[in-house]
A and B are shown apart, each in its own frame.
Chain A
Amino acid sequence: MRRDVVLVGLLWVLATLVGEYVVSTLDIYPPKAALEAEHIDQAIRTLLMLAVPVFNFVVVVMLYSIWRFRARDEAEVGEPIYTHRTFTVGWLVVTSALAAVLFYNPGYVGWKFLKSNPTADLEIQVTAAQWHWHITYPDYGVSLKSRPIGFARIEENPVLALPAGKRVKFEVTSDDVIHSFWIPALRMKVDAVPGVVTTMYVTITETGSYEEDAVFRVQCAELCGTGHPRMTMPVVILEPEEFEDWIKQQQMQEAMGGSMEGMEKQGDGH
């Protein structure tokens, strides 16, 4: 009995050391381009590190019991142990403490961070509708509209450009059903609810583009009907000067008139 406890303890420590090493070094995270994304990835990593000892404890005890406590003949019965006061109370204390710890960090601390700074260098308005993204840069009089044409032809869609190093406020709403505005590279999403304006603040840190990785895209994340999977458009994150150039280019195109508009209306739905 004593031997079993010691052995399980050793195995658990060993497995946990290995597990902690793996989850703290393993890079399972796709490219990211925002301060918020770093915090969110860090939250996931912290939760993995907290999960390792829990997971290992259960698995080690299970596997050890399976190996050590198998019945050799039909008549054998186990030890009549009804409960164990110290172990039970210890279990309750440890699980409650764990829940409290992970509530505080990454939970509470991380959330406070995401909500801490309601200021922005750039405002972008997003209106979702079945199955378009209508994006406007009110400070620059630029607007874009995506069409539901899917991944094979995604380069035909306009590109949502963002400036690196700037803090952006997205104001999101919907014209019809509920959609959700998600840019995986930023790790941030917020629902587009008709009749409500939701906001999302993101501090962009790095450049990147859809060609580099598909996480650089806007993706509708709330089921909104037939065109839902195709409610997507590429994202490009540019250095601030390049971003200014991009804006000028857009303004010129817009000034050139409605010829583009006509084309956009021909989206082929599904």
Chain B
Amino acid sequence: MLPVFRGLMWGVIGFLIGGGLTALIRGVLGLEPWVFGSVFLVGYLFGLAGWLLGVGVWDTWMREFLGLEPRPYQAEGWRRYFGFTTDHKVIGIQYGATFLGMFFLAGLLAMMMRIELMQPGRDIFNFAQYNRVMSLHGFLMVLVAVTAIPGMFGNYFVPLMIGAEDMAFPRMNALSFWIWPPAAILLLLSPFFGGWDSGWTGYPPLALTNDPGQMFYNLAFFTGGLSSVVGSINFLTTIITMRAPGMTWGRLPIFVWSIFMTSIMSLTATQFVGVAMLMTVLDRVANTAFFDPARGGYPLIYQHIFWFYSHPAVYVMMMPAWGIMLEVLAHFARKPLFAYKWAVAGFGGVTALSFAVWAHHMFTSGMPETLHVPFMATTESISVPTGLIFLSALGTLWQGKLRFKTPMLFALGGLFNFLIGGITGVFNSDLPADVHLHDTFWVVSHFHYTIVGGAIFGLFAGIYYWYPKMVGRMYSERLGRLHFWLMFIFFNLVFLPMAWLGLHGMNRRIGDYPPELGGVNAFVSISAFILGASFLIFLYNMVMAWARGPVAEANPWGARTLEWATSSPPPVHNFPAVPQVLSGPYDYGVPEAGVHAAVPVES
């Protein structure tokens, strides 16, 4: 039996045992046995454990723990993707398939929202449904933005780029991926149990008094966070300990640096969102009152804990995308990455400051007024390390020899979009301006410019850049460019007018708005449909290339870094023997530098 199926079976059994036990204990204690809250909570935790044991934890750690011979999953071909495989390349593709699936699903939800918002008044949804669609869209997209690049490209390319055979902890790597399906299942099932209507931020007290579907969000966030922590430990250990000889910190490709810094943030901040979720769930099912003012709780504490994670999380979304953009710019300009050390310092500065800005999400929340000015100061100072990314990017373009292939177009487009995202962010950080702009479509515009315009454009730059390496075939460059131009133009036509809408009094998270804003909203909706359609070109291009694209060479772009020094796709252990790194990854145009690394042929 495929491990996924065994996992599912054990998961269901676990759920029944956990839920049943809870009901039983409640019955014995004289409480009403079948309440959704606690039965579902304990059922889910048992189900999660059952799933993980069934999918592979039993065969590996548990058997070892009990003194039995472990039975690592061995399979060939497509079966590798449906079990506890430890090859980092398989795991990268598992992440990629899962999160691109989620991306397209959440994209469909966005299309539905734009149908509703195309005209004022109520069209296809009632407000309860709209809020649920909006919440699911937002949360799925946040998970995609946080996870897709580290999950897919971090896992696939970090070991390759540093000349390692695999990640430091291959089994933990598999675990970090297989933690995700229960979260995904929760979210996919949530609409059938009423969904939840408190957005991706899940603020109590709303999150305490709304329908039980709320718990699907809390538990999914908690589960996903667990994976993030496990994954980041693995990245940090891999990058610190598994670099090939000669791969000094100063020769680390910038994408690897971005994953390194990102992992520091995920490892140290994610616990906070886990705690926020847990406290909400306990308030709901166990009669605690952390956030319930009626019983002595304080709802703003949730916002502090939530944003203590969720602000760093926006840089978790963005930083790997910066890494990809800089990587692509240097290779497609055939130039050393400009001010490499400053770019790394920029990552470091953003990482450090990202922990000290969270309350800029709470300027109108009624938090103590001693906090406003300091948080404005920290938020605005983050633009200095962020500026270093632009310094590096512009310096790299200057006097380069630019090749405008699809990945390069996405990197340039992403840089442009993020510029607007960063600038609109400064308005949000400005106290007087934010009093008006907070919780309006201005903010919607801002974070889509950063997340879609920056992080998702970076993701697509990465997809077009590394596709030939991962699949071993080449896509159509013409279709790639067509996709870029449609996506770039219509992205801007969707999200720039939203800033105007916010300024003119359109608040966010609403299924209806004043009739006079109808014209601009109709324009936004139509642009959004075209933006959505552009992804069909992408899908068609990828599927056709996968089925019968021309076979890709080992190094179709002529790039220097190590992932291009092995075959496309790479063999199981990446390199025939341990590579010897001899010079920097971006030493283009420096004859005395020679190759980046020597890869011995069969030793």
Chain A interface residues toward B at CB < 8 A: 1, 4, 28-30, 37, 39-40, 43-44, 47, 51, 54-55, 58-59, 61-62, 65-66, 69-72, 74, 76-84, 87-88, 91-92, 95-96, 98-99, 102-103, 106-108, 110-111, 113-115, 150-152, 176-178, 180, 182, 184-185, 187-191, 193-196, 198, 213-215, 217, 219-230, 270
Contacts and interface: CB of A to CB of B under 8 A. Distances in A.
Contact of B400 (A65, A83, A220): A65
A111 B588 contact: no
A46 to B, nearest CB: 9
B365 interface: yes
Contacts of B384: 92, 95-96, 99
B423 interface: yes
B61 interface: no
Given A62-B394, A106-B430, A191 B416 contact: no
User: Which 10 residue pairs spanning A and B have beta carbons closest together?
Assistant: A195-B293, A110-B432, A184-B505, A78-B335, A214-B514, A229-B510, A78-B400, A71-B401, A65-B397, A198-B366
B314 interface: no
Interface in B99-135: 120-121, 126-128, 131
Given A71-B334, A110-B431, A151-B512, A62 B293 contact: no
Contacts of B365: 178, 191, 193
A77 B401 contact: yes
Nearest to A88: B339
B333 to A, nearest CB: 5
A39 B333 CA distance: 45
A111 B372 contact: yes
A235 to B, nearest CB: 11
A99 B416 contact: no
B399 interface: yes
Nearest to B515: A151
Given A58-B419, A71-B334, A193-B365, A28 B503 contact: yes
24 contacts: A44-B427, A54-B423, A58-B415, A58-B416, A66-B412, A69-B398, A74-B558, A92-B384, A102-B380, A102-B430, A103-B381, A110-B433, A111-B373, A180-B439, A182-B439, A189-B438, A191-B366, A194-B294, A198-B366, A214-B516, A215-B504, A221-B439, A229-B513, A270-B128
Given A111-B372, A191-B366, A229-B127, A77 B398 contact: no
Tell which of A81, A223, A227 has the most Cβ of chain B within 10 Å: A223
A230 B335 CA distance: 56
A80 B517 contact: no
B433 A47 contact: yes
Contact of A221 (B376, B426, B438, B558): B438
Contacts of B383: 95, 98-99
B66 interface: no
B49 interface: no
Interface residues of B, number: 94
Interface stretch (B203-211, B449-457, B528-536): B203-211
Contacts of A187: 435-436
Contacts of B503: 28-30, 44
A80 B401 CA distance: 11
B300 A193 contact: yes
A55 B90 CA distance: 41
Nearest to A229: B510
Nearest to A39: B432
Tell which of A72, A79, A102, A150 has the most Cβ of chain B within 10 Å: A79
A98 B423 CA distance: 12
B387 A95 contact: yes
B403 A215 contact: no
Interface of B: 120-121, 126-128, 131, 197-199, 201, 203-206, 209-210, 293-294, 298-300, 333-336, 338-342, 364-366, 369, 372-373, 376-377, 380-381, 383-384, 387-388, 390-391, 394-395, 397-404, 412, 415-416, 419-420, 423, 426-427, 429-433, 435-436, 438-440, 500, 503-505, 507-517, 558, 587-590
Given A71-B402, A191-B365, A193-B300, A223 B198 contact: yes
A226 B402 CA distance: 52
Contacts of B517: 214
A1 B438 CA distance: 45
Contact of B516 (A40, A191, A213): A213
B426 A78 contact: no
Contacts of B412: 62, 66
A65 B398 contact: yes
Contacts of B419: 55, 58-59
Given A58-B390, A62-B415, A226-B131, A47 B430 contact: yes
A253 B294 CA distance: 34
A interface: dominant SS: mixed
A81 B402 contact: no
A88 B391 contact: yes
Nearest to B440: A221
Tell which of A191, A215, A217 has the most Cβ of chain B within 10 Å: A191
Contacts of B381: 99, 103
Contacts of A37: 436
Contacts of B500: 28
A163 B111 CA distance: 43
A81 B372 contact: no
A32 B317 CA distance: 37
A76 B341 CA distance: 26
B364 A189 contact: yes
Given A74-B558, A106-B430, A213-B516, A79 B589 contact: yes
Contact of B432 (A51, A72, A111): A111
B394 A224 contact: no
B366 A196 contact: yes
A114 B516 contact: no
Given A69-B397, A115-B369, A184-B504, 12 more contacts: A55-B423, A59-B419, A61-B397, A61-B398, A62-B412, A107-B380, A111-B372, A182-B507, A189-B435, A219-B507, A225-B198, A228-B509
Contacts of A51: 423, 426
A30 B504 contact: yes
Nearest to B512: A229
A4 B400 CA distance: 13
B376 A103 contact: yes
Nearest to A112: B373
Nearest to A173: B366
A6 B179 CA distance: 56
B397 to A, nearest CB: 4
B427 A47 contact: yes
A70 B403 CA distance: 6
Nearest to B408: A66
A76 B513 CA distance: 55
A107 B439 contact: no
Contacts of A177: 203-206, 209
Contacts of A182: 439, 507
B340 A82 contact: yes
Contacts of A221: 438-440, 507-508
Nearest to B429: A107
A226 B197 contact: yes
A110 B438 CA distance: 16
A218 to B, nearest CB: 11
